[in-house]
Amino acid sequence: MENGPAIFAGAAFTLFGAGLLVWTGMRVMHRAPVAHGVSPATAVTLATLFGALSLALGVWCFGRV
């Protein structure tokens, strides 16, 4: 009964984290701004941090199944 929500949460967090990391990487590679009105170093750092955290949380959710 509890496996369904854990699988859904794991999939959502993993897809979001992976997508954010890929998107950030592509923006950096093309030298495009990651966030408007923010220092580029801060934007890249925070986007990478939250992408990695989300990916780790998704893997943790899958580990709880």
Give the model confidence (pLDDT) of 23-62 as tens digits: 999 999 999 999 999 999 999 999 999 999 999 999 999 9
16: amino acid identity, one letter:
F
pTM for this one?
0.88
- Answer whether residue 1 shows pLDDT above 80: no
Domain region containing 29: 3-63
DSSP 35: S
Q: Which residue has the tokens 């949380």?
A: 57
* Nearest residue to 57 (alpha-carbon basis) of 19, 6, 2: 6
The domain tally of the chain equals 1
